[in-house]
């Protein structure tokens, strides 16, 4: 695990960890993420931002060797990560978003914040109009974009905790849906993130980061 230096300021710590993170190809299979860190990682996706707060996603955390091996068969390109990572987080986006789902969210706001459902009807109408006006393809793209925000949040949180990750789109999403029973819930697999601790054998950890300079991609105005 990366040694987190107590003498670093928060800002230094964040930049150090953002540079430390890399797309890990091979994990140390002996090292498992402890329950407290797992809890924080799960909170990082649950607390992620989404349009209207609708949370159009679901997540599956694969932890058993049996399940990881099953998923590996549906991700030959990324086999080494499935075989060595401590955990695999599968991120799925909603394929349909019904008025009933919006109602369940409105009810949750009401219960959580003590606001009468009646007072939330204008907000409900905006959400229903927006989601019902989209084609199924546009809706799936919209929910996918939001699910990717959760993915980014997961990877950054992991890096801050000294946990390695590899984002993976190179998976057979239809097979993942079957294995995890996601289609029945109205979700579809989008991508997966391998989580664990880098193996000493993974030479990529020593390679320099390849990034365009700030002035090429960012403008202050």
Ligand X SMILES: Cc1cc2nc3c(=O)[nH]c(=O)nc-3n(C[C@H](O)[C@H](O)[C@H](O)COP(=O)(O)O)c2cc1C
Interacting residues with ligand X (CB under 6 A): 22-23, 25, 78, 166-170, 191, 209
The token duo for 7 is: 């003498």
What does the alpha-carbon distance between residue 208 and residue 174 come to, in Å, rounded to a whole number?
35
Give Cα 132 to chain centroid, integer Å: 26
Closest CB to ligand X among 108 and 174? 174
CB 207, min distance to ligand X, A: 8
- With CA atoms as reference, report the closest residue to 182 among 86, 59, 82, 85: 59
Which residue minimizes CB distance to ligand X? 170
CB 114, min distance to ligand X, A: 39
Closest CB to ligand X among 39 and 79? 79
CB 197, min distance to ligand X, A: 16
Place of tokens 């057979």: 172
- With CA atoms as reference, report the closest residue to 156 among 47, 60, 56: 47
How many other C-beta atoms can be found within 10 angstroms of the C-beta atom of residue 207?
A: 9
Closest CB to ligand X among 177 and 202? 202
CB 78, min distance to ligand X, A: 5
Closest CB to ligand X among 111 and 169? 169
The helix or strand, by DSSP H or E, that contains position 190, with its residue range, turns out to be strand 187-196
């Amino acid at each position: 695990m990366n040694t987190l230096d107590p003498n670093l300021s928060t800002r230094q710590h964040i930049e150090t960890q953002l540079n430390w993170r890399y797309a890990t190809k091979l994990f140390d299979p002996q090292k498992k993420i402890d329950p407290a860190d797992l809890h924080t990682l799960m909170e990082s996706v649950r607390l992620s931002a989404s349009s209207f707060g609708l949370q159009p996603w679901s997540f599956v955390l694969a932890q058993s060797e049996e399940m990881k091996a099953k998923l590996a068969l549906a991700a030959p390109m990324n086999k080494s990560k499935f075989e060595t990572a401590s955990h695999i987080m599968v991120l799925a986006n909603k394929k349909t978003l019904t008025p009933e789902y919006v109602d369940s969210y409105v009810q949750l706001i009401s219960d959580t914040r003590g606001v009468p459902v009646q007072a939330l009807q204008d907000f409900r109408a905006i959400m229903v109009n927006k989601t019902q006006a989209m084609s199924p393809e546009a809706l799936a793209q919209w929910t996918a974009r939001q699910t990717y925000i959760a993915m980014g949040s997961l990877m950054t949180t992991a890096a801050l905790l000294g946990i390695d990750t590899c984002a993976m789109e190179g998976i057979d999403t239809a097979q993942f849906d079957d294995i995890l029973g996601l289609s029945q819930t109205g979700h579809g697999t989008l991508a997966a993130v391998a989580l664990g601790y880098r193996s000493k054998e993974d030479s990529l950890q020593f390679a320099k980061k390849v990034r365009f300079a700030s002035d090429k991609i960012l403008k202050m105005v």
